[in-house]
Structure formats: structure tokens, C-alpha cells
A and B are shown apart, each in its own frame.
Chain A
């Protein structure tokens, strides 16, 4: 009787094991997983390589950008023919301009201007051709020569005007 019980329980066990195994197996993969990973990586690196080549070839063409598209250095010492350098510093929200006065032929002109773009051009001219002592605390600078040296005669301060020119 005991043996019969043992045999039937063994039989039941094997039947249930067989039944459990009919639970569906996972999708069979053609390639081992690490291989698909490596293939994907190689394809990706190849694409990156091709992109770099294309970018290099494309940028080799005359990259005549307009003068001030590239990132400029912080300190710029410019000598422009008619001695006018404009800097525009852009603040984001506030519009203030505090421009210190400068006299003619002054060497050390330090400007701390924070201007916001308001649709009007604010120009700050520095005097003195061939001068090196101009240090501007600016984060964005631009060089554009606009006006003729009437600056020597203009002294306009304050924030309410269109153009703020000082010497």
C-alpha cells in the first residue's frame, strides 16, 4: 500500500512537471544577447564616424561666417580705424545703463554697462586710437563701426535716450 502511494505520487509529480513545462517558453533568439548588443554598438559607432566625416567635410567649405558669429574672448583690445568700438552688453530683464563719463584722450576707460536690448541701439564709444588700457567688463561684445568721431562732442548720459554716447 505504501509502495502504491509512493508510485502514484511519483506519477502525479511527473505529470505535473510535464504540465508545467508546457507553459510557453520565451521567444527563441537567433543570436545570443551579447552579440546583438555588440552589433548595435558597432552600427552606432559607424554612424557616429560617418557623421563626423560629413561634418568635417561640410565645415571645410568656405566658412565665411559673418564677422562676429564665433565666440569671442573676454578681453578684447580693438583698434578700429576711426577709433570707435561699440560694445553691447545684454542683460536679460532689466534695462539699465550706467555709463561713466570719460574724457577725451583718456587711457583707462572702464565701462560697466548693463544694457538690455530694447530695440534701440546703445552705443558706447571709446576714444583714443591705439590705446590699450581699455578694459571692458563685458560678457558679450561686438564690433561694429558705425559712426564717425562725433563722439568727442557728445556727452549724453542717462537711460532715457536712444543713444548713449560718451567719450
Chain B
């Protein structure tokens, strides 16, 4: 009947629109800027040491820290996912962002002081020092790498792919491979310092571009009050089933929700119930911001605790923006293009965006293609690239840190610093290859489902980790047995929910999944809360039934002892000592060999480019000393300033929550 109303002509003229000089000039200019910032930062820090490469020499001030936290977090997944979910179900998805305002303060005030005085580089290393033994840190490394590949990398690549296909019509493989190679280039050579400075630049690009688009979309729809008024009537014109034998379309599948402008929704019937939004997202957020390597590594690179806190506050303020820059434009997109973004008939949706489930994911790319003038479209593409590259680069760098410092040093304890840095770089290339192989999987997965899968995976696997870290930092009594069995028990519980749900599929409004109520009835956020508490109880019970860890092993590893000046007898001391001895012997051997080699000019150039300083450094041991020892004392004046700022930020956040509740 109304198949022609889809205006196929519009669709084909939209594709391939970035082909005019203004757009191309902006994109090329963007890439040049990013690469030059990367090269500049290469000369600023010494990348030859482990601390210099993985932790930027601990010299970062607050603004790269804050900007890098924001840019590492905001990926193309946010643009596509937030806008798409906002178009489909309203502003509650912004709760994910606004919850982070509080969690990021927990990071800066409670967790980072402990991580800093513990003197660790990676989170599994912290757990190893805190609990002793190797199984917990091994488990955490493996599951973190798994979660990176399955949640962060796949989400960002999928969203980048959606955007590229909608806005550019490029071949997906060419586009993604080019992007990954450029990202890998400045990640591999520059280390964390290059990442953090480029992230600062990317943050500007992201915010500027997103503001421009938001301005245009509000102008197009007629203002904020027009948004409020028109959203509830943004229904598609085709909503009758094309094949009534197979399915029927009930009105609630295509009508915008009544509570679309409420952040806090009904606990039983809402799609994002308010206990889940407040507590469930806080728990998953606790894992993401306070215990995950990507985020914590940026805080550890700061030059002092005050800078960490200021950076966290800056990140918090920036996290206020995604609601206005991504969720609202998504809703505007549905108002302006209800037949494409809000399509409901499966056959029509397949024609619009290639999947039957729904096309809300094209909300943001559709806006970019349709309402932005020439030149600014190039800017928006630069924004998406900025978001995608910054997140991917951070994940690459942190996963290489995890792999190098936790897994490789177990395999080869005698690895020298130079070898570790080389391994770190090679691992980035490996993970780029894995990401490229992931593209067909991403395409095969029905797109509308991917975000649900991602959020579910996080809710089912992250709460045990968050609970163990929280208890490790605050409760001295928790010991290795408790933590390990808590992690394993939590993992099993999460898998019990996750595997059946994957098996049955999440379904859609028209074709609901037949997952039994017992398994899938509880909302995934509520399940996360339950899992968190069960894991905590398990950890505490097992810890209290077994031997405690004495205080002498815990100085500066727990919050209550973070200022303690006493000596700590490391639980992993013997292992470290063996590793150090093996490393010293290996270095001696290398030094003897190096003196006999003749250095050619090219070798020397390559070595300088890669920042390897190993063979020239008789002060191989000294690189450890000039690194400032992590000191968590704070200047009182700055401490009060920073605390006051945090209070102000929390007040603003509470006001926004109250306004939109």
C-alpha cells in the first residue's frame, strides 16, 4: 500500500554526501591536527621507560586528565546509542550519563588515593598486592580483556560502522581498517601521553561539533517547547502489519512512551525502572569508572592527587552535556523523520536501515546527513571519528598495559623494560587485528539488539568485580579466599542469567522473546543490584570464616591505612624478587651484547622513533627513581578548593536530576 512513502529517492541521494571540498578539507585538517598533536607529545615525555610509556611519566595536569577521562568514555557508541535509545524511549537513557557524575567523584576521592599509594600500574596488580596469590589477578586480567573486546570495542566499531554507512556510503572494511590503523599509529608510538593530549583535542572537537548539530536540530524542530509538544505525536504513517498471519503490530510498539520525559520511571512497568537507574547504573558505573583499567590509568598518570580530583570534576561537568547533545537530538530526529527513525513494520525497516528490528540507531546519522550544511557535515564526521578513535585508542593502550604488565610478566618474568614496551606495542597491533575480524560478527548481529546485549553483558559480569574492589579497599578483613570465591560465585550467577538470555534472544516489541519469566523476568539493572549484594555477602562470609590478612601486609593498600607510613611486607614479595633478579640478569647479558654490536644509522633512527632507550641506559634502574613517588598529601588550600568544587558539581547534578525526574 504505502511502500512508496518511504521515498527511496531521498535515501539514495543522502548516501555519499561527503564529497564536496569543504567537507573533505575539514576532515583532512582534522586528521593532520590529530597526528601533529600525537607527534608533539612524543617529544614531550620519555617513552623509554615503563612508567613513561604506560603512565605518561606521571606528569599530567588536571585538564588532560579530565578531557581524557571524558574522551575515553564518550565513543561513537554514545552518539549512536544514546540518540537511538532517546529516540525510541525518551530521556531515561541519559541517566546512564548523569549517574556517572557521582561515580567519578567516588573515583577521585576514595579509590585513586588508595591506588596511588599502593604504587600500582594496573588493577590486577593492585589485587595481587592486596590479596596475594595470582589467581585473582589472572582472572581479572582475562575477564577485563574479554569485556573490552565484547563490550567496548564492538559497540564503538558497530556505531562507527552505522555512521559511516549512513553518512558516507563507504565500504565498511576500508573505512574501519583505515581508522584503526591511524589510531594504532599514534597509540603504538606515543603511549599514554600521546593519547591524553590527543584526547584533549578530540574533546574540543566532539563538544564543538555536537553543539553545532544540537543548535541546528533545535532550530529545525522549533525550540525546546516544540520538542516537548511534538514528541508524543511522532508516530510513523505505516503501522499496519504487512503479513497479519505472522504478526500483528500493537499501538504501543510505535507510539512514543508517555513517560518519555521522565528520568525516573515506574519500577515494574518502566523500561528503565528508577531503582535500577539509581542503584543499578551506579554499580555498573562503579565498575567502569573506579575499577577499570582504562579510566583508572588516566588518573594514575596525573601529577598529584589534587590534579586527579580536579580532572574528575572537569569530567563530571562534561558528562552533563551528553543528555543535551545526544539524547535530545535523537528525540528531535524521531520528530522530524518518524517514518525512518520510528519505523515499525519489519519489512519497511529492513529497507530503511537493513534490519527488521527497528531503525532508531540511525537517528543521529540521519540528522547529520539531512540538516547540516556543507562543511559542517565534514565537522560532524570529524566528531564521530574523534569519538571513535579516542575511545578505541584508550582501550588499545589499556589492554596492552594489562596484557604486558600482568600476563606477559607471568610468562616471562625476566623481561626487561625494553621488551615490555615492545610487547605492549605488538599487542596493540594484535588487538587491532581482532577488532577487524570482529566486523563481520557486528554486521551479522541484528543491529537493534546489540546495545541491549552490551548493557546486559555489563550488568551480568561487572557487579562482582565492583563489589570485590569496593570491599578490598574498605574492608580490611576481606582476604584472598573470600575475594576469589566471591568472584567465581558472581561469575556463575551472572552466566546463569546471561547464557539463557543470549540463547533465547531479547526479541522485539513485535516478536517478543520466549525466555522464561524465571530467567528473564527481572530487569537487567535490578539483576545487577541483586548480583552485587549476593557477591558481597559471599565475599564477607568466606572472609570471616578464613584467616585474616595482617595489617603489616595492608599498609597503603586500604582506605583506612592510606596515609600509613609503615613498611609493608608485600604478599607478592617473593614473586617480585624472583622477577627482579631474572630481569637484572637479562639486562646484564643484553648490555654485554650491545657493546659488541655495531649500530647502523637506520637502526638508530628506528630506535629513536620508537622511543626505546633501553640499550643506552646504564641508569636502567634510575628510571624508577626520577618518577615522582606517588604522594597523596595535598596542599590544604587546593584541597578545600577542590572539595568545594565537587560539592558545587554535585549540587548541579542533583538539580538536573530533580528537574527531569
> For residue B233, which residues in chain A have a CB less than 8 angstroms away from its CB?
20, 23
In whole angstroms, how far apart are the Cα atoms of A20 and B234 in the complex?
Answer: 10
> For residue B14, which residues in chain A have a CB less than 8 angstroms away from its CB?
none
Does residue A5 face the partner (Cβ distance < 8 Å to B)? no
A91 interface neighbour in B563, B569, B629, B654, Cβ under 8 Å: B629
Q: Taking A26-B261, A41-B654 as contacts, is the C-beta distance between A92 and B659 under 8 angstroms? A: no
Q: Are B629 and A119 in contact (CB under 8 A)?
A: no
> For residue A139, which residues in chain B have a CB less than 8 angstroms away from its CB?
629, 631
B658 interface neighbour in A25, A26, A40, Cβ under 8 Å: A40
> For residue A44, which residues in chain B have a CB less than 8 angstroms away from its CB?
650-651, 654
Q: Are B658 and A90 in contact (CB under 8 A)?
A: no
Stretch at the interface among A31-39, A102-110, A128-136: A31-39
Does residue A151 face the partner (Cβ distance < 8 Å to B)? no
In whole angstroms, how far apart are the Cα atoms of A45 and B653 in the complex?
Answer: 12
Q: Taking A39-B658, A48-B647, A117-B567 as contacts, is the C-beta distance between A26 and B580 under 8 angstroms? A: no
> For residue A71, which residues in chain B have a CB less than 8 angstroms away from its CB?
563, 633
What is the CB-to-nearest-CB distance from A141 to chain B, in angstroms, rounded to a whole number? 7
Does residue B573 face the partner (Cβ distance < 8 Å to A)? yes
Q: Are A95 and B580 in contact (CB under 8 A)?
A: yes
Does residue A140 face the partner (Cβ distance < 8 Å to B)? yes
In whole angstroms, how far apart are the Cα atoms of A33 and B659 in the complex?
Answer: 5
Total A-B pairs in contact (CB under 8 Å)? 107
Does residue A70 face the partner (Cβ distance < 8 Å to B)? yes
Most chain A CB inside 10 Å of its own CB: which residue of B580, B655, B660: B655
Most chain B CB inside 10 Å of its own CB: which residue of A34, A44, A68, A93: A93
Q: Are B658 and A118 in contact (CB under 8 A)?
A: no
B563 interface neighbour in A70, A94, A141, Cβ under 8 Å: A70
> For residue B261, which residues in chain A have a CB less than 8 angstroms away from its CB?
26
Q: Taking A20-B233, A142-B566 as contacts, is the C-beta distance between A92 and B629 under 8 angstroms? A: yes
What is the CB-to-nearest-CB distance from A120 to chain B, in angstroms, rounded to a whole number? 8
B565 interface neighbour in A23, A33, A72, A119, Cβ under 8 Å: A72
Does residue A4 face the partner (Cβ distance < 8 Å to B)? no
Does residue A96 face the partner (Cβ distance < 8 Å to B)? yes
What is the CB-to-nearest-CB distance from A154 to chain B, in angstroms, rounded to a whole number? 20
Chain B contact surface mostly: loop
The 0/1 profile, CB within 8 Å of A marked 1, for residues 641-661 of chain B is 000000100110011111111
> For residue B419, which residues in chain A have a CB less than 8 angstroms away from its CB?
none
The 0/1 profile, CB within 8 Å of A marked 1, for residues 254-273 of chain B is 01001111100000000000
What is the CB-to-nearest-CB distance from A26 to chain B, in angstroms, rounded to a whole number? 6
Q: Are A37 and B659 in contact (CB under 8 A)?
A: yes
What is the CB-to-nearest-CB distance from A73 to chain B, in angstroms, rounded to a whole number? 9
Does residue A69 face the partner (Cβ distance < 8 Å to B)? yes
Does residue B630 face the partner (Cβ distance < 8 Å to A)? yes
Does residue B347 face the partner (Cβ distance < 8 Å to A)? no
CB nearest to B661 among chain A residues:
A36
Q: Are B259 and A27 in contact (CB under 8 A)?
A: yes
Q: Are A121 and B567 in contact (CB under 8 A)?
A: yes
The 0/1 profile, CB within 8 Å of A marked 1, for residues 229-269 of chain B is 00011010000000000000000000100111110000000
In whole angstroms, how far apart are the Cα atoms of A113 and B378 in the complex?
Answer: 56
In whole angstroms, how far apart are the Cα atoms of A69 and B647 in the complex?
Answer: 27
In whole angstroms, how far apart are the Cα atoms of A95 and B621 in the complex?
Answer: 9
In whole angstroms, how far apart are the Cα atoms of A69 and B566 in the complex?
Answer: 9
Q: Are B566 and A40 in contact (CB under 8 A)?
A: no
Does residue A165 face the partner (Cβ distance < 8 Å to B)? no
What is the CB-to-nearest-CB distance from A36 to chain B, in angstroms, rounded to a whole number? 5
Q: Are A69 and B580 in contact (CB under 8 A)?
A: no
Does residue B577 face the partner (Cβ distance < 8 Å to A)? yes
In whole angstroms, how far apart are the Cα atoms of A44 and B261 in the complex?
Answer: 23
Q: Taking A20-B233, A71-B633, A118-B577 as contacts, is the C-beta distance between A91 and B624 under 8 angstroms? A: yes
Does residue B119 face the partner (Cβ distance < 8 Å to A)? yes
CB nearest to B261 among chain A residues:
A26
Q: Are B573 and A34 in contact (CB under 8 A)?
A: no
B232 interface neighbour in A25, A33, A117, A121, Cβ under 8 Å: A25
CB nearest to B569 among chain A residues:
A119
Residues 545-566 (chain B) with a chain A CB within 8 angstroms? 563-566
Q: Are A37 and B629 in contact (CB under 8 A)?
A: no
CB nearest to A71 among chain B residues:
B633
The 0/1 profile, CB within 8 Å of B marked 1, for residues 1-33 of chain A is 000000000000000000010011111000001
What is the CB-to-nearest-CB distance from B266 to chain A, in angstroms, rounded to a whole number? 10
> For residue B625, which residues in chain A have a CB less than 8 angstroms away from its CB?
91, 94, 96, 114
In whole angstroms, how far apart are the Cα atoms of A147 and B71 in the complex?
Answer: 54
CB nearest to A70 among chain B residues:
B563
CB nearest to A144 among chain B residues:
B566
In whole angstroms, how far apart are the Cα atoms of A36 and B120 in the complex?
Answer: 44
What is the CB-to-nearest-CB distance from B634 to chain A, in angstroms, rounded to a whole number? 8
Q: Are B658 and A117 in contact (CB under 8 A)?
A: no
CB nearest to B573 among chain A residues:
A119
Does residue A88 face the partner (Cβ distance < 8 Å to B)? yes
> For residue A36, which residues in chain B have a CB less than 8 angstroms away from its CB?
658-659, 661
The 0/1 profile, CB within 8 Å of A marked 1, for residues 627-638 of chain B is 001110100000
In whole angstroms, how far apart are the Cα atoms of A153 and B655 in the complex?
Answer: 69
Q: Taking A24-B258, A41-B655 as contacts, is the C-beta distance between A94 and B580 under 8 angstroms? A: yes
CB nearest to B90 among chain A residues:
A26
Residues 53-109 (chain A) with a chain B CB within 8 angstroms? 68-72, 88-96
Q: Are A27 and B258 in contact (CB under 8 A)?
A: yes
Residues 524-582 (chain B) with a chain A CB within 8 angstroms? 563-570, 573, 576-577, 580
In whole angstroms, how far apart are the Cα atoms of A114 and B573 in the complex?
Answer: 17
Q: Are A26 and B260 in contact (CB under 8 A)?
A: yes
In whole angstroms, how far apart are the Cα atoms of A70 and B577 in the complex?
Answer: 31
CB nearest to B654 among chain A residues:
A44
Q: Are A118 and B624 in contact (CB under 8 A)?
A: no
> For residue B119, which residues in chain A have a CB less than 8 angstroms away from its CB?
90-93
B655 interface neighbour in A24, A40, A90, A114, Cβ under 8 Å: A40
In whole angstroms, how far apart are the Cα atoms of A72 and B563 in the complex?
Answer: 10
Q: Are A37 and B580 in contact (CB under 8 A)?
A: no
In whole angstroms, how far apart are the Cα atoms of A36 and B228 in the complex?
Answer: 18
The 0/1 profile, CB within 8 Å of A marked 1, for residues 594-638 of chain B is 000000000000000000000000000100110001110100000
Name 26 A/B residue pairs within 8 A (Cβ), A-sorted.
A24-B255, A25-B258, A26-B259, A26-B260, A33-B660, A36-B659, A36-B661, A37-B658, A37-B659, A38-B658, A39-B658, A40-B655, A40-B661, A41-B658, A44-B650, A90-B568, A90-B629, A91-B119, A91-B629, A92-B629, A92-B630, A93-B119, A93-B576, A93-B624, A117-B568, A117-B570
A-B interface, 8 closest residue pairs, ranked by CB to CB distance from nearest: A40-B658, A92-B119, A37-B659, A119-B569, A37-B658, A142-B565, A23-B233, A44-B654
Known interface pairs A44-B650, A91-B119, A114-B624; 7 further A-B residue pairs with C-beta atoms within 8 A, sorted by A's residue number: A23-B233, A23-B235, A26-B258, A41-B654, A41-B658, A118-B569, A118-B570
